[in-house]
Structure 1
Amino acid sequence: METQKFNYDNNIVRAFLYATIVFAVVGFLLGLTAALMLFYPELPEFLFGTDDTTIQSLRSGNIQGLISTNGAFGFGRIRMLHTSAVIFAFVCNAFFCGAYYSMQRLLKTRMWSDTLSWVHFWSWQFMIVTVVITFLMGINTSKEYAEHEWPIDILITLSWVIFGINMFGTIAKRRVRHLYVAIWFYIATWLGVALLHIVNNIEVPLNFWKSYSAYAGVKDALVQWWYGHNAVAFVLTTPILGLMYYFMPKAADRPVFSYKLSIIHFWSLIFVYLWAGPHHLQYTSLPGWAQALGTGFSIMLIAPSWGGMLNGLLTLRGAWDKVRVDPILKFFVVAITCYGMATFEGPLLATKTLNKIGHFTDWVIGHVHLGALGWNGFIAFGIVYYLLPILWRTKLWSVKLANWHFWLGTLGIIFYAIPLYIAGFTQGLMWKQFNPDGTLMYKNWLDTVTAIIPYYKLRFLGGLLYISGALLMVVNVYKTIKSGSFQKDVPAEAPALASISKQRLNGEPVHLWMERMPVVLSVGAFIALAIGGAVEIIPTLTVKSNVPELSAVKPYSPLELEGRDLYIREGCNSCHSQMIRPFRDEVVRFDSKNGEYSKAGEFVYDRPFLWGSKRTGPDLQRQGNRNPDSWHFKHMYNPRVTSAGSIMPRFPWLISNELDRSEMVNKLKLMKNHFDVPYTKAQIDSADTWANNQAKAIVKRIYSEAPDIKEQVENEQKVKGDKFVPIENREIIAMIAYLQRLGVDIKTTNVQTASN
């Protein structure tokens, strides 16, 4: 048989390896910063000075003043930047690094196009840089794991398509007949991410950096969490499983435990996963049938997930002595164990019994980070340590340092996850406690916040340990590279592949036939992926009875719509929910006046929905008229003035920034023309007058409630003279308008009793 000579391309692997390491440190630092701000909210003032010095430094052109005054260091922006950096920058780069290395070896060929490889690399890194810039500027959509505005969504799509063309082109010119299991997972990953990304990010642009979701309220919530849950599935799980199936056997020098289990694992996982998204919306306004489907399929997920875990761990049979001394295998073993723990815990949290306690608490944050730090992080670290000696043709500079990294990382996971589990249990139970007389035991929300501050500090310690291990890895990487010699093109040879028959041979198993038919395998995978989402999403979007209308609910005023966009800009939904579930404690706490839990029809004008996924602060769905306008003014300037012990960050820039109304009329036109929001032509034409009148009314109430604010503003006007911006034209007034609108449309004369 003819043997062909060719070269593997290690250059692209090295580039993604560097990016993985750099963005690992960046992502961990951002996470550590966010963790610190949860018990030290004064961090921005410590770093950038007080308001007075901030304004002075801004006038002198100091970048620190610019950051502090415009809120780039706000918790909401840092938090979404952290999640995006870890997912798209760290984990995706790690996947691309491992995929470009393993695909070439598994398919016995160089990548189809070196040019496409580099276009993919640089377009992906450029996307990450634009994400950093836009998020710090407050440009985001608020949608979990999909906060990028529409130009970045398009950039992600183009880069992903380029990667797909290169991958499928490489598969087409392979020198092996059958596709190995890792390739199956790479194909499913590509298809799954493409499907999720496109469907969830359908939006209508207002301008280059602002858009509104094509879906509203309940419909947006379902589509977003179909995406959000399955972004975890097809960005943080299936590609990492593909890497596990390649690098674990290679590092252990053992074959995969079971080929049949691999088949069952692959098909059952990609089929079941797409149904499970609604478990993030238990007890919400989502139709009950969709919630039930989410729970049922989430429980089913235990089987394929644990099948993959066992297939990985049992691959090490006969190699446990090697595990004791090899840090690479140690990382892999703990990673797969964390995968098993997280995929058991997730379905449990999807059950209504535990969801009523765990949802909106830090338990969920601990669960997510068990997967991110343990499963994703440790697999990535193991791959880095595996590739270093191979790419630079030398020994790892320090095995001892790699072992220190392993133990620091493991301790970091323990100190991170366990305190958050305890914090979550504490929150969930405190929220639901009643006194014998029927009143809430912890009526003051801050009591439930201050109770878990010690656990936030332990979580910070865990993050500190974890990033310390990562920094040791950076040292080890640098020293190993310095001691070795990199080889860009690696000579290889393999027999030429004869033409492949498309016919199934007599006695040939169906799956073995599919493994040599990539198109058939891909089509089958796409069908398995699409079924779950279609069954849940299409009826919710098209059947009107799933979202009953409420005649009392009216569209937002122009000023309220501007305030809502500011709320999104600052990432307020990271800490506040807008969803009162049908529990006695939530109705009493958040809407004692009306006794109403949230209804689907309340959210028909919410694009995007803002139900939130965590309650660091209280729910705001019925916030309107609960506190005076002056309270909100002072609360935004410094929450510790109005709520002693609050860990909410300050928003002084809202007080000083002039509200940009340049697109206000266009926003109303877009809502009317594209989404049939019932604004009249007269309302749109008089939008400025409408906003002015509402702003003046708010300012009048603030001045009457708090004469000290009026005095401060008048003194400011004397100092600034002609450059003074009237308070009614500032961002804070729009934010107050939005907050005071929340829930005021829902008024009942017959108080309904909510279930426990």
Structure 2
Amino acid sequence: MSAPTRYFDDSVKGFITWSIIWGTISVVVGILISLQLAWPQLNVAPYLTYGRLRPIHTNAGIFGWGIGSFIGLFFYITQRLTKTSLWSPGLARVTLWLFNIGIASAAVTLAMGINRTKEYAELEWPLAVVVAIIWVLFSINVFMTIFKRKEEQMYISLWYIMAALVGVTVLYVVNNLGVPLHLFKSYPIFAGTNDANVQWWYGHNAVAMVLTAPPLALFYYFLPKVTGNPIFSHRMGIIAFWSLIFMYLWTGAHHLLWTPVPDWIQTLAMAFSIMLIAPSWGAVMNGYLTMNGRWDQMKTNYLVKFLITGITFYGLQTLQGPMQSIRSFSAFIHYTDWVPGHVHMGTLGWVSMIIFAAVYYTTTKMCETEIYSVKLADTHFWLVLVGQLIYSITMWIAGVQQGSMLLATNTDGTLHYSFMETMIAIMPYYKIRAISGIIYLVGLVLFIYNIYKTYQKSAVSQTAKA
């Protein structure tokens, strides 16, 4: 009889812990910049201004909270799906050190104003190289674990993991190609509309490979574990996976509607954006149908609440996103606060809900104990849900009002409202947004406390056993 597989989870704990730290920083900075928009006097030049802090908020959220969590959780689920121990625990520890050095250095340089001015690709070339190295080391560890797997079946989560590893590598490297001028400045090798096209090919596919494929990998793994039901249809999952990966690659130019980018590229992006509804909802329906006979758990199981609410927000995102890619609708809401409402439904509602569930689950398994407080977890769920809904709905209302005012014209064709008048009109919504962020932060603090007390509870239990 073969010995049970030993799983190496030290780096899993490390990445989860640090991703929570960076995620908390992202939320705190997000609240600060929301307050700065409502009360401009809170901007303190040069380091604590909106322009310096906003990229720190997005990078700490996407790279620190999102990618940090995904690296740790991918290490966790890959070992279990392959029934194989991690290929190199030492390499995982090195990756964790580099990860934290990279995120901290990014925060410092962005605060100093060292910025490529590209969305989600602000880091100058030395740090971009560090990010690429981190991702390659992480990818090697995961791929080698998969290659030496003991389980022949490749479960759907592994396909999403591999897609993310390959996709992010290609996207990040191509979009960061540039000519260094000196240590703190470089110029992209692309120019004009080509540069814009490559940037949003990267930008929107970063949404695919960082904020879609990884949380879907987690969702497909943890929902069956939590509910006790097998996934409804693995075949549906595989078909939706390949369709999603193919269609996403063509959608980036929908960020560039009504620009000098050729019309045929814009139209192609529109078409594929609308087609994306089908594979996206394939995953949503797979999740819903997996709940057959288990819907009562929405009341009794705190993990199910996070997972099903998360996948529901994903479904809403993938309806709203294609709608925004249509030229006529884009002309109305682009450059308004509707867009941050859309983005934060994805990051706070879809991605973070799935990560919260995954972290709760893995923490209890690695600590070999139950969560410290189910009541705290339920309260955490409702606080982040309410905070996110207030944020998004407020911004959608502001965006509609803003778009209507910006497009309003007099009989002679001149604009009816000035830009400043639109800002005055939506200022109350900015204040409500700041409040929603504080509500979300309170939920996040409860989450951190619950995880900390669970680790503490486990340590006491282990000491008693000894």
Fold similarity call, TM over 0.5: yes
Check if 1:456 corresponds to 2:455.
no
Kindly state the Cα deviation for residue 378 of structure 1 after the two structures are TM-superposed. 0.7
Superposed, which structure 2 residues align to 1:560-571 within 5 Å?
none
| Runs of 4+ residues over 3 Å off in structure 1 | 485-488
The equivalent of 2:39 in structure 1 is 40
Q: What SS is found at the alignment partner of 2:87?
A: coil
Deviations 1:348-378 (A, max 9, x none): 0000110010111111110000000001111
Superposed, which structure 2 residues align to 1:140-151 within 5 Å?
140-151=115-126
Larger Rg: 1
Deviations 1:234-267 (A, max 9, x none): 0111011111110111111111111111111110
Check if 1:225 corresponds to 2:204.
no
Q: What SS is found at the alignment partner of 1:110?
A: coil
> In 2, Cα distance between the equivalents of 1:271 and 1:403?
38
> In 2, Cα distance between the equivalents of 1:257 and 1:77?
46
> What letter corresponds to residue 445 of structure 2 in structure 1?
L
Q: What SS is found at the alignment partner of 1:88?
A: helix
> In 1, Cα distance between the equivalents of 2:15 and 2:248?
28
The equivalent of 2:451 in structure 1 is 477
> What letter corresponds to residue 161 of structure 2 in structure 1?
Y
> In 2, Cα distance between the equivalents of 1:391 and 1:218?
49
Superposed, which structure 2 residues align to 1:214-613 within 5 Å?
214-442=189-417, 444-485=418-459
> What letter corresponds to residue 346 of structure 2 in structure 1?
G
The equivalent of 1:208 in structure 2 is 183
Superposed, which structure 2 residues align to 1:734-753 within 5 Å?
none
Superposed, which structure 2 residues align to 1:107-126 within 5 Å?
107-126=82-101
| 2:43–2:50 Cα contact (<8 Å) kept | no
Kindly state the Cα deviation for residue 487 of structure 1 after the two structures are TM-superposed. 11
The equivalent of 2:47 in structure 1 is 72
Deviations 1:519-573 (A, max 9, x none): xxxxxxxxxxxxxxxxxxxxxxxxxxxxxxxxxxxxxxxxxxxxxxxxxxxxxxx
| 1:150–1:211 Cα contact (<8 Å) kept | yes
> What letter corresponds to residue 43 of structure 1 in structure 2?
L
> In 1, Cα distance between the equivalents of 2:461 and 2:310?
30
Gapped regions of structure 1 (runs ≥ 5)? 46-67, 489-756
The equivalent of 1:9 in structure 2 is 8
Gapped regions of structure 2 (runs ≥ 5)? none
Kindly state the Cα deviation for residue 486 of structure 1 after the two structures are TM-superposed. 9.3
> In 2, Cα distance between the equivalents of 1:242 and 1:487?
32
Over the matched positions of the two proteins, sequence identity in percent amounts to: 44
Kindly state the Cα deviation for residue 77 of structure 1 after the two structures are TM-superposed. 1.2
Q: What SS is found at the alignment partner of 1:266?
A: helix
Q: What SS is found at the alignment partner of 2:7?
A: strand
What value does the CA root-mean-square deviation take over the aligned residues? 1.4
Give me the TM-score of the superposition, normalised by structure 1: 0.60
> What letter corresponds to residue 111 of structure 2 in structure 1?
L
Aligned pair count reads: 462
- Which structure exhibits the higher relative contact order, with contacts defined as CA atoms closer than 8 Å and separated by 6 or more residues? 1
Deviations 1:394-421 (A, max 9, x none): 2211111111111111100111000100
> In 1, Cα distance between the equivalents of 2:143 and 2:368?
30
| 1:104–1:110 Cα contact (<8 Å) kept | yes
> In 2, Cα distance between the equivalents of 1:8 and 1:91?
23
Q: What SS is found at the alignment partner of 2:296?
A: helix
| 1:412–1:462 Cα contact (<8 Å) kept | yes
Kindly state the Cα deviation for residue 385 of structure 1 after the two structures are TM-superposed. 1.3
> In 2, Cα distance between the equivalents of 1:15 and 1:200?
29
> In 1, Cα distance between the equivalents of 2:374 and 2:187?
51
Distance 1:374 1:75, change over 3 A: same
> In 1, Cα distance between the equivalents of 2:460 and 2:343?
37
Q: What SS is found at the alignment partner of 2:216?
A: helix
> In 1, Cα distance between the equivalents of 2:259 and 2:386?
36
Q: What SS is found at the alignment partner of 1:328?
A: helix
Q: What SS is found at the alignment partner of 1:319?
A: coil
Deviations 1:645-692 (A, max 9, x none): xxxxxxxxxxxxxxxxxxxxxxxxxxxxxxxxxxxxxxxxxxxxxxxx
| 2:179–2:186 Cα contact (<8 Å) kept | yes
> In 1, Cα distance between the equivalents of 2:412 and 2:117?
40
